[in-house]
Structures are given as structure tokens and as C-alpha cells.
Amino acid sequence: MSKTQSLPRPLHSGTASKGIKGRIRVPGDKSISHRSLMLGALALGETEIHGLLEGEDVLRTAEAMRLLGGAAERGEDGVWRARGRGIGGLREAAEVLDLGNAGTGTRLLMGLVAAYPMVTFFTGDASLRSRPMARVSDPLKLMGAQVIARQGGRPPLAVIGTKDPLPITYKLPVASAQVKSAILLAGLNTPGVTTVIEPEPTRDHTELMLKGFGAKLVVEQTKEGRAVSLTGQPEITGRKIVVPGDPSSAAFPIAAALVVQGSELTIENVGLNPHRIGLIETLLEMGADIRIENERIEAGERVGDLRVKHGALRGVTVPPERAPSMIDEYPILSVIAAYAEGETRMLGLGELRVKESDRLGAMARGLKACGVDVSEGPDWLSVKGTGKPPAGGAEIAVNLDHRPAMSFLVLGLAARKPVTIDDGSPIDTSFPTFVDLMNGIGTGIRLQNR
Ligand SMILES: O=C(O)C1=C[C@@H](OP(=O)(O)O)[C@@H](O)[C@H](O)C1
Ligand SMILES: C=C(OP(=O)(O)O)C(=O)O
């Protein structure tokens, strides 16, 4: 049954009285997993993907790639293997690509298919169908593709690819790794050099992976920002990819260990790409006891183990320029801030309004319902903690959004009263093992009986 059809799964989270303890690993990085399936399908020869995130979003990308003629298969050993036919080796999908809840899958694939003479239809769940896609369609049109979409550029939409794609130089109007990646992926089958300039640097997994596969890609600091130039139609060859643990998923057990008394937790093998560690930087400024151990480079990405201990936290101001390096972590940061003493001001958060839900509004409403002193502006959130556990005791509607869902379950772990979310099923999009993994380290998250 697809997620849009399945019954809501209400979850209940009460006090984790004995502390959060243990040594765990979180599932593979969602961003790297999407990209490895796409590039694996275009590289000549075999690509082995170790540690692919088998969450709903990534499985939708795997299915979309199968429909586009670039299937990867899961072996009995848990390793995914793709046998690519080279750039140019995609074929038109005979069905609509249903990307479910996945903005990354949709936007990157829109780019990937735009430089082929074929038509590709995209749809998704109610959340995805409300998300703006013009940010991707606009540059793809400059490259010669056409996009027909609902008002506001929203899906369902069709990308009519071009057989004569033009290389462009494009300055991103929003800080978005998804838009940057969509253009670079379109640039793969485009003769000449495609350049994306980002005024604020965003996660660079696409760049690292393209280089790892052997593409010619140059990154320069210019007056206008970070310029990434890709030479099109390279011969890229299959390789081994080792997907690190997702720092955006690790954020939830980290938060649990920080807010529950008596906690001491180690999370091994977490991705520590410098463009993804804004949350850790912020938590250290708040006084968190977090240590990075065993730091190393694996398959081109920085990884390490994180040791986290419970302790007092203080409010801080998180500057707007840090937003791209922790964009998915603001929901859980706002929960941690509710346990800290003093005000935490989070600035430059306009993009949170157009994620799987309006996360700024969702966190402000839910925190208020849990007795937290919170205020919001168009692109900022302020949480005033007292250094004591918040009241909790609310039932929160998660509106098809996994990150607020997990965030409020964490809030319930040390609040004065338990917290319930109306539907835990969206969690499967990015962290399908969340409940079992959290219960294995001391939480008691359970299905709410109605
Ligand atoms: O490129 C990616 O893999 C992602 C980029 C971010 O989105 P934006 O590029 O829209 O900021 C992030 O929110 C998303 O979860 C994953
Ligand atoms: C924003 C997210 O994902 P996507 O844009 O891929 O739906 C997320 O995982 O928090």
C-alpha cells in the first residue's frame, strides 16, 4: 500500500526515565543515497552502493530509475548494484514517476531527464504536490527543456526534454542544493560547460560524487559566490560508494541524549561533510557535551563518531548564513532550545516554509501547544526556554512531514507530560528504523491505542 493510502499511525512518547544510552548507527544519508542511484545508472560498468538508505523517499528514486532504464538491484548482502550504460543511456519512462514525499528525488530527476529527447511525467503525495518546482523548471527552460506544471510550478508536471541542450551559467536565486544539483545533472548530457553559482554554499554531495565518478568538475570562489563548472558528456565509470550515516537523522538521537537526564550515547559513522554540520556547531555554542572521535574520509566524504552526554544548555542566536548547513535540523533544534535556558533565535529560515510542510508554522504551533514560549516571523523563529522541561501533553498533527514528527516525539522524552503525534508513517521516508532504534537506547515510543 502506498503512503498516501495507508492508515495513520499515531505514536506516543513518554518519559525516558533511565537515560538514553548505547552505541548505535543511524541509516545512510538520504542526499547521498538519491545521488548514488542516479549516477550509478549513468556510469559505465558496475557501481556498488554500500549502506544505501532504504527509506521510502530513496526507494521511490530507485523505482523511478528502473522506469528510466537505469535499475539498481539490492543483493542478498544488502549491497545495491547498478549496471550503467553511460551518459545518454536513459530511456523514456512508460509510466508516471511517483516520487511520493521526496522533494530531492523529484527535483534532481527533473534535471537528469531534461537533457534527453523524451517526456517524463512526475507526481507525488499531497505534500509534494504543494511544493514549488519553478526554481528548477526556470533554469531547465534556459537549457532548452519545457516544463508543463500546475499553477505555481507544482506537480503533477511534465518535463519535455531537449535533444539539443544548451550549457548555461546560472546564479541560484535561493540557497538550494537541490536546484544546484538539478542543473548539474542536466549538464551531464549537455555539450560544453554548465556553471552554477551559489551565493551561499550548500551541501556538495553532487560535486564530490561527480568527481569521484571521474567527471571534470571545477569549483572556484568568485566575487558572486561559489562557482561549480561541469564539462558535459564525460565518460564516468562505476565505482564503490559507501554511504555514511545521515547527520540529519543522527540529530534525533543526539537531541534525545542532550535533553534526557543521565544520558550518554555514541553514534558511529555519521557523515560530517562541512556543509552539513551547522547543527553540531550550534549545539557546541549552546554548551552541549558532544565529542567527535575517529574522524576520517570514506569514499570522498568526511565521517566520524559522535559522543553525546546530557547537560545544561543555553540559548544562542543562530545566524542566517548557517541555515544551508543545517536546513533540515531546525525542527529538532527548536525542540532542544525548549529545554535550554534563555532565548534561541533562529534567523534566515524562509526556506522552511516550503519543505514537506510549513515547518516554521508547524514548529511554532506545536511548541506552543506543548507550553513553550515561542514566536515566529516570516523567516525566523524564537524559542525561550527556562532550563526546565516543557509541559508537553499535546497531540500534534504532523501534516505528512517526517521531521516535525520525530522532533515532537523527542520533545515528549523529558517533558512533564507525554506527547502524541497523529501519524508516524511519514517517518519512513527518511528514517524507517527510527522507533526501534530509539526504543533500543531507552525511549518508550509506542503506537497510541485509540
Ligand atoms: O540536495 C539535497 O539532497 C537536499 C537539499 C535540501 O533541500 P534544498 O536544496 O531545497 O534546500 C534539504 O532540505 C533536503 O532534505 C535534501
Ligand atoms: C526537506 C527534506 O526532504 P525533501 O526536500 O527531499 O522532501 C527533508 O528530508 O527534510
Per-residue pLDDT tens digits for 125-148? 999 999 999 999 999 999 999 999
Q: Which strand (E) or helix (H) includes residue 375?
A: strand 373-377
d(CA 56, CA 428): 6
Pocket test for ligand 1, best of 39, 106, 176 (most atoms within 8 A of CB): 176
Per-residue pLDDT tens digits for 272-313? 999 999 999 999 999 999 999 999 999 889 999 999 999 999
The ipTM assigned to this model is 0.99
Q: Which CATH number fits domain 11-28+244-447: 3.40.50.150, 3.65.10.10, 3.90.1300.10, 3.90.470.10?
A: 3.65.10.10
Is 382 marked as a binding-site residue? no
- Residue closest via CA to ligand 2's atom 3 equals 103
Distance 212 CA to ligand 1 centre (A): 21
Model confidence at 369, pLDDT cuts 50, 70, 90, reads very high
Catalytic residue among 328, 401, 423, 428: 328
Nearest atom within ligand 2 for CA of residue 105: 6
pTM as predicted: 0.97
Per DSSP bridges, beta strands 169-171 and 217-222 are: unpaired
| Cell output for 138 | 526556470
In the predicted structure, residue 3 carries a pLDDT above the cut 60:
no
d(CA 314, CA 296): 30
Architecture (CATH level 2) of domain 30-241 = Alpha-beta prism (3.65)
Model confidence at 8, pLDDT cuts 50, 70, 90, reads confident
Residue-averaged pLDDT of the chain: 96
Which ligand is closest in space to the CA of residue 61? 2
Is 9 marked as a binding-site residue? no
Distance 356 CA to ligand 2 centre (A): 7
Distance 12 CA to ligand 2 centre (A): 24
At 5 the pLDDT is: 54
- Three-state SS for 126-138 is CCHHHCCCHHHHH
At 450 the pLDDT is: 60
Model confidence at 333, pLDDT cuts 50, 70, 90, reads very high
At 448 the pLDDT is: 87
Please confirm, yes or no, whether 373 is among the known catalytic residues: no
Answer yes or no: is the C-beta of 177 below 6 A from any ligand 1 atom.
yes
Is 75 marked as a binding-site residue? no
Is residue 294 classed as helix, strand or coil in its secondary structure? strand
Pocket of ligand 2, beta carbon within 6 A: 30, 57, 101-104, 328, 355-356, 403, 430
Nearest atom within ligand 1 for CA of residue 180: 9
Is 180 marked as a binding-site residue? no
Distance 194 CA to ligand 2 centre (A): 25
Per-residue pLDDT tens digits for 98-124? 999 999 999 999 999 999 999 999 999
Delimiting residues of CATH 3.65.10.10 domain(s) in the chain: 11-28+244-447, 30-241
Nearest atom within ligand 1 for CA of residue 34: 3
Per-residue pLDDT tens digits for 171-225? 999 999 999 999 999 999 999 999 999 999 999 999 999 999 999 999 999 999 9
Distance 97 CA to ligand 2 centre (A): 18
Counting residues of the chain whose pLDDT is more than 70, the rounded percentage is: 98
At 108 the pLDDT is: 98
Model confidence at 14, pLDDT cuts 50, 70, 90, reads confident
d(CA 370, CA 350): 24
Counting residues of the chain whose pLDDT is more than 90, the rounded percentage is: 95
At 15 the pLDDT is: 87
Q: What is the mean pLDDT of residues 151-164?
A: 96
Is 81 marked as a binding-site residue? no
